[in-house]
Amino acid sequence: AGYNGGGINGSIVMVSNSTLSGNSAGFQGGGIYTPGGNFGSVILNSNKFGTAVPSGTANVAPTGGPNVFNLNGNTGSGNDPSTCNASSGNC
C-alpha cells in the first residue's frame, strides 16, 4: 500500500481495491505499517496481495502495530483468489 506510519497514532486507515504486488499482510503489513508508526486501526477491503494473506489474524504487523479488521475479499498468493482468501480463512 506504500503507506508509512511515520509516527501517526490513533488513525484509521482504509486500503481498498488495491493490487499490492510482492507484498503480504504479514510482517510490516505489506507497507501499510512500518517501524516507528502505529495506527489505531487498519481496514483492508478487497485488496490483492502478491503473497499469501494470513487467515484469522488480529494484526498484520508485529506487536504494537495496528489493529486490523474487515478483512473482506482480500486475496493473496500470486493474486490467485482460489489459493488464499482471508475472508474465508482458506490460506
The pLDDT value recorded for residue 28 is 40
Q: How confident is the model at residue 80 (pLDDT cuts 50, 70, 90)?
A: very low
The pLDDT value recorded for residue 86 is 46
Q: How confident is the model at residue 19 (pLDDT cuts 50, 70, 90)?
A: low
The pLDDT value recorded for residue 15 is 73
From the list 9, 69, 68, the residue with the least C-alpha distance to 36 is 9
Specify the residue for cell string 488495491: 18
Q: How confident is the model at residue 70 (pLDDT cuts 50, 70, 90)?
A: low
